[in-house]
Amino acid sequence: MLRKIRIAIALIMLSLLSFYFIDFAGIAPVETKLLTKIQLVPALLALNIGAIIILLLLTFLFGRVYCSVICPLGIWQDVAEFISGLFKRKRKYKFLPTRNLLRYGILGAVTLAFFLGFTFLLSLLEPYSIFGRIASNIFRPLYQEGNNLLTTILGWFNNYKLYMVEITIRSIFSFIIAGISLLIISFMGYRYGRLYCNTICPVGSLLGFLSKYSLFKVRIDKNKCNSCGVCATKCKASCINSKDHQVDYSRCVTCFNCLESCKKDAISYDWSLKTAANEKGPNSGRRSFMAVTGAGLITIPLAKAKNTAALLNGKKAFKRKQPLSPPGSVSAEHLLSHCTACHLCVSRCPSHVLKPAFTEYGLGGIMQPMMSFEEGFCNYDCTVCSQTCPNGAILPLTKEEKHLTQTGRVVFTLENCIVYSYDTDCGACSEHCPTQAVTMKPYKDGLTIPTVDPDICVGCGGCEYVCPAEPFKAINVEGNAVQLEAKPIKEEKEKDIKVEDFGF
Ligand code: SF4
Ligand code: SF4
């Protein structure tokens, strides 16, 4: 019974969390966000004291239930393990000696690197973030592909309830990392049960250490046990030493598989005040990827030639010195010290302006979110990412606060502007600027040309995104290392319009 309850809760948890990540239409209930907040590392980074206390209490009471019903990556490994059971009905685990040096070594290295400001290691190994990247980069495009297929099929029957969505891969680098993680984790789950959780996962090692002292535990009654070893063959954590009637509680993930396996009724999950010392025991993604790679091979040399020609013609390339972190992330430093690159914000950003960084923030910030204006710009009234982040890496902003949060400042390059180069009319940048940081001033022959006021710019990138100048944009946004307060928009004074008397 306990096992069935655990499986039911775990499946609900996995389904809701996955849906929250892949939900492009924004129909997931807002309460789902709570599930991201009770993930251990996000709760620690956001200093979410309530969640931390609940998770610690759960562990001290019931052992590693976090790993069996809360952590989506743990549950995903159970899914892989279940699938392997379908193919290999007589699969058997066996007791393995613990690899404490490796697991606590990794935990120590991740913690040390984090406090030295190198968060990449934590982002790479932390289970919730790994799952987030897999869901955002792999499951989401697959879900969108399924949606498009269903839309086409329904269209044949004149049913237009669904709509087509564009399938995009936000960053090839993150896509590759997510794909490799998915393969490795699924393979480990398929072949070796919870090996990842008990050798590599820093959260598993930390909770494993604490769960040695938990109140409720899987216990073997020596008087009933005949050391047949059936329980050990069912233990996906390979932590039951049936010969010595011992369970390694630091590795037990409370899956309860062993409870139902014992014919002698010698295993139970109950409580005792004895401490551990007394009980010490031993498609579409692929197609897009191929398309992007193939297109890259052809277009990169062409683009390079175009850029060189443009430079020779007096145009200027803009190189951003500082990436733009999402509004509410306070500063690049704050983002880097709180973000574990779960990509929830990237996945839920409706304007597609967030994408995982490569080395823009430096090596320590690989895969962390930054604003990129190739496929969109930051909607002036949108606060989704700031309301979404469970880690406190992007702090909540109201619409009014966001309107004054300056993530970067506009930079205009006259030589690239098509009004200057071709004596033609434009002004797209000014039309798209929500703050009037770009306005048009008289130029010549009745034309107007942009003029910028960086103080009231919020760095949304609307101007950069729409600027038609090629190959170099004429207007760009330089990031702020620390987000500043933009000056409020100047209200246009209503002109007194004097209505002339018509005189009759
Ligand atoms: S100048 Fe550009 S980046 Fe700045 S607020 Fe206007 S559109 Fe946004
Ligand atoms: S959109 Fe670009 S090309 Fe057009 S006016 Fe603005 S800066 Fe110049």
What does 84-121 look like in DSSP terms, one character per residue?
A: HHHH-TT---------HHHHHHHHHHHHHHHHTT-THH
Give the ligand 1 atom nearest the CA of 438.
Answer: 1
Give distance in angstroms: CA of 437 to centre of ligand 2: 13
Distance (Å) of CA 283 to CA 142, 145, 287, 347: 7, 8, 6, 19
Q: Is the CB of 452 under 6 A from ligand 2?
A: no
In this structure, which ligand is nearest to the CA of 452?
Answer: 1
Of 291, 285, 359, nearest to 323 (Cα)?
Answer: 359
**What is the pTM for the complete model shown?**
0.76
Taking all residues of the chain, what is their mean pLDDT, rounded to a whole number?
88
Q: Which of 372, 430, 477, 489 to mutate to test the pocket of ligand 1 (most atoms within 8 A of CB)?
A: 477
Query: Which pLDDT value is given to residue 41?
Result: 93
**Whose C-alpha lies nearest to ligand 1, atom 5?**
457
Summarised one tens digit per residue, pLDDT across range 206-240 is: 999 999 889 999 999 888 888 888 999 999 999 99
* pLDDT in the model for residue 492: 53
Residue 125's closest CA among 196, 208, 187? Answer: 196
Mean pLDDT of 45-68: 94
Would you state the structure tokens that stand for residue 207, as one six-digit string?
């909770």
Distance 447 CA to ligand 2 centre (A): 12
The segment with the largest mean pLDDT, out of 113-117, 118-122, 310-314, 374-378, is 374-378
Section 301-313 average pLDDT: 63
Nearest ligand to residue 425 Cα = 2
What is the rounded average pLDDT of the residues 446-469?
Answer: 96
Res 288 pLDDT > 70: no
Please indicate whether residue 429, judged by its CB atom, sits closer than 6 Å to ligand 2: yes
The DSSP bridge pattern shows strands 369-371 and 405-412 to be unpaired
What is the whole-number distance in angstroms between the Cα of residue 419 and the centre of ligand 2? 7
